[in-house]
Structure 1
């Protein structure tokens, strides 16, 4: 029997106008990344491995952590990327006023009203949950996962047995920027996860 702690970190606040940022490769301010990096170095919890989304708002932080401690094993995983918002991805809301009814329908029922040319919520959930299961099966030590708010919500839906199509996962469950969600997994005859905390701020915004 062994236990592994997973710390799911949502990236810092991105630089850019308010928009749906999925696969659009926006950046986090360098000073903010440095602050998050230092907070992780100073934190009481420990981890030996880092897995990050390859999008730069996550990957840049992983690179900083690797430079600070080369002993940390860093890898990048495409399957941990945020959902793709299709034609609306990265477009400022101010430029989408004529499509507001489409956006509102998506926010109310994201599974039933996907955005134009976007990844469906079901495909997103399947992608993330399958990758989470692989990470759990392979993990040998405590692991920091640097990823996205949507990714973390889909992992929680899977672990807690929640309805991944429920819009409240996005409108009610708060997963703030630079916050940590802690899941402890015990592996013996089966896999026994425990959600220890959700969306705990690492640093103030």
Structure 2
């Protein structure tokens, strides 16, 4: 199965803010710009999956209109990581000791008391397992950088803790509105 992973457009939040699973909006012109760039490249008639967070859901709803016969499914397992008390805080306001503790144990530490990377990997892996059982040739997934990194890491078919670490250690170079193709 080919997965075409699309990162949501630029959200209306400063780049210095930790916003993980917070439901931040995207400016309409951002959705229009990303939508226009994707219309010519995404296949039609394939299932479309999306995180229910607005920054993904708004783009997905627009694309479902553009891609004839594409069924749209929202799945909470595609949401970005929950950073707990860190959500919507400026990164510089988060105690250095807490960030260092997370860096020392990327798989298990729960930033801000929220979700750890291993828990996120578990839910993303469950989504992928369900999707692979549907046996589509291709699917488009509108989601977040963290979700894309995990779906890409799952391709290696490593034990889940190793997958979580692989994703956590991978460089974050996924632009807003960009696509990543992964074959399973």
TM-score category by the smaller chain?
0.7 to 0.9
Spell out, residue by residue over 1:4-51, the C-alpha distance to the aligned partner (whole angstroms, 9 max, x if none).
3210111112111222221100112211111111111112x4142210
- The residue aligned with 1:180 is 179
Report if aligned partners of 1:81, 1:147 keep a CA contact under 8 Å in 2: yes
SS of the residue corresponding to residue 3 of structure 2 reads strand
User: Which runs of structure 2 are paired with 1:1-205 in the superposition (5 Å)?
Assistant: 4-17=1-14, 18-43=16-41, 45-47=42-44, 48-69=46-67, 71-94=69-92, 96-97=93-94, 99-161=95-157, 163-166=162-165, 169-170=168-169, 172-184=171-183, 193=184
Distance 2:29 2:87 in 1: 25
RMSD, aligned CA:
2.1
Distance 2:114 2:171 in 1: 23
Report if aligned partners of 1:25, 1:55 keep a CA contact under 8 Å in 2: yes
Aligned pairs, number: 179
Report if aligned partners of 2:50, 2:60 keep a CA contact under 8 Å in 1: yes
Spell out, residue by residue over 1:66-108, the C-alpha distance to the aligned partner (whole angstroms, 9 max, x if none).
23345321110011111100111122225x25x1221233245
Distance 1:131 1:168 in 2: 16
Higher strand share: 1
Report if aligned partners of 2:153, 2:167 keep a CA contact under 8 Å in 1: no
Structure 1 outlier segments of 4+, above 4 Å: none
Higher helix share: 2
Distance 2:47 2:34 in 1: 17
* Pair member with larger Rg: 1
Structure 1: runs of 5+ lacking an equivalent: 185-192, 194-205
| TM norm structure 2 | 0.86
